[in-house]
Amino acid sequence: MNAISGLHEEALLAERLLARFAELGADPKGGITRPAWSEAETACHDALAEAAAARGLAVHRDAVGNLWLAPEGLGDRPAPACGSHCDSVPQGGNYDGAAGVVAGLLVALRAARAGIALRAVALRAEESPWFGAPYLGTRAAFGLLDPAELAQPRRGDGLPLAACIARAGGDPAAACTGRPLPEIARVTAFWEAHIEQGPVLLDRGLPAAAVTAVRGHLRHPAARCLGEAGHSGVVPRHLRRDPALAVAEFLMDLDTLWARQEQEGADLVLTAGMLSTEPDAATPTRIPGEVAFSLDIRSADPAVLGGMERVLAERAAEIGRRRGVSFALGRAVRAAPVALDPRRAAAIEAALPRPFAMASGAGHDAAEFARNGVPAAMVFLRNAGGSHNPAEAMDIADLMAGVEALWAAIRATGG
């Protein structure tokens, strides 16, 4: 087959599989719903397996239901793997995960034709809404589920995780032995294509990007600022202890710092997603006595997160002193950034028509591989309409740009 008709055939296969996945996940309430370890997810695995088998790949399912597609003759030999997940969030879009399993199949078919050892993989259960935790298919394959997690009821039908795995033909006990399944133990490197879930590539007019790291976070889910309640009309400015203005100043200070960090090239995003005065007492005519707020600070750089932690304490103390209020930032939830393999990321970036690399603000299976010591690499695909909603939109041409970059990087690095 010549290169042009080969590309055309690959694009047609990708389009056909993604259309089939959309049918299998169509939610009567809108969008795409493919729960983890559900019939819809299994049906996507089956559609992939059928397309792979028709093109000469061997089909194999591991003990927890992840699907592996390999060139005939590869047997049990170690090799890199390329893929993603088929499950979606409730009423989500069609491309989160699904684009990556289709890319994995296309890369595996190219590898089989070229005599390069590589498997495609469709992982189970990446999305957290179903059992309250992400990357369950990958963690199960590494043998890392907690036995208590197996009792977790699935959102929607309440079926425990153990029963869901068993129903999909898997063995729940294999998910928590503390030892990796043989299939995942023989993965020498993990390559994943995934839609970008933010607007960066769209904004820059780029089809794809190399991913350098998955951001870690410092989160204060329940921070408070305590002041003194009073009548809005009667208390002069210098006698006020107003937590609303204190929190406003605190957030504006963080925003100014963010802008400066961005100028200096540091990776940082910052969100106060919850912000409220006392819900039962607040009125337009009352100086609030307390403001509750949350902070979510993310960066690919642990030093930036550490620096932000010091800034929070310092700004809270200074503003608190000056304004007569006190900040209680409360419990901190921390997750370290996960670096993806720099050599493979550089190879993906170099293979792009317009080289670009960025950090991922969302977690992915690739990060779970990296956390378990398997070198991992990702390519992001341009996506309009945001993610985890029915408006997700990806062009097949952008998926193909991602496949080209993965394929070139796999050959350049030896997988």
By C-beta, is 245 or 367 nearer to Zn ion?
A: 367
- Least distance from Zn ion to the Cβ atom of residue 7, Å: 25
- Least distance from Zn ion to the Cβ atom of residue 89, Å: 9
Q: Which of 359, 357, 254 is nearest to 307 (CA)?
A: 254
User: 157-161: long-range contacts (C-beta < 8 A, 24 or more apart)?
Assistant: 161/37, 161/131, 161/136
Binding site for Zn ion (CB under 5 A): 96-97
By C-beta, is 33 or 277 nearer to Zn ion?
A: 33
By C-beta, is 96 or 404 nearer to Zn ion?
A: 96
Spatial contact of 187 and 180, defined as CB atoms under 8 Å apart: no
By C-beta, is 325 or 378 nearer to Zn ion?
A: 378
By C-beta, is 97 or 337 nearer to Zn ion?
A: 97
- Least distance from Zn ion to the Cβ atom of residue 388, Å: 9
- Least distance from Zn ion to the Cβ atom of residue 333, Å: 21
Q: How far apart are CA 23 and CA 18, in angstroms?
A: 9
By C-beta, is 97 or 243 nearer to Zn ion?
A: 97
By C-beta, is 65 or 97 nearer to Zn ion?
A: 97
- Least distance from Zn ion to the Cβ atom of residue 232, Å: 47
- Least distance from Zn ion to the Cβ atom of residue 254, Å: 29
- Least distance from Zn ion to the Cβ atom of residue 126, Å: 5
Q: What is the 3-state secondary structure (H, E, C) of the chain?
A: CCHHHHHHHHHHHHHHHHHHHHHHHECCCCCECCCCCCHHHHHHHHHHHHHHHHCCEEEEECCCCCEEEEECCCCCCCEEEEEEECCCCCCECCCCCHHHHHHHHHHHHHHHHHCCCCEEEEECCCCCCCCCCCCHHHHHHCCCCCHHHHHCECCCCCCEHHHHHHHCCCCHHHHHCCCCCHHHHCEEEEEEEEECCCCHHHHHCCCEEEEEEECEEEEEEEEEEECCCEECCCCCHHHCCCHHHHHHHHHHHHHHHHHHHHHCCCCCEEECCCEEECCCCCCCCEECCEEEEEEEEEECCHHHHHHHHHHHHHHHHHHHHHHCCEEECCCCEEECCEECCHHHHHHHHHHCCCCCEEEECCCCHHHHHHHCCCCEEEEEECCECCCCCCCCECCHHHHHHHHHHHHHHHHHHCC
Q: At what angle do helices 396-413 and 342-351 cross, to 10 degrees?
A: 130
Distance of CA 209 to the CA centre of its chain: 15
By C-beta, is 52 or 195 nearer to Zn ion?
A: 195
- Least distance from Zn ion to the Cβ atom of residue 22, Å: 16
- Least distance from Zn ion to the Cβ atom of residue 125, Å: 11
By C-beta, is 65 or 134 nearer to Zn ion?
A: 134
By C-beta, is 126 or 290 nearer to Zn ion?
A: 126
- Least distance from Zn ion to the Cβ atom of residue 136, Å: 13
Q: Indicate the length of the chain as a whole number.
A: 415
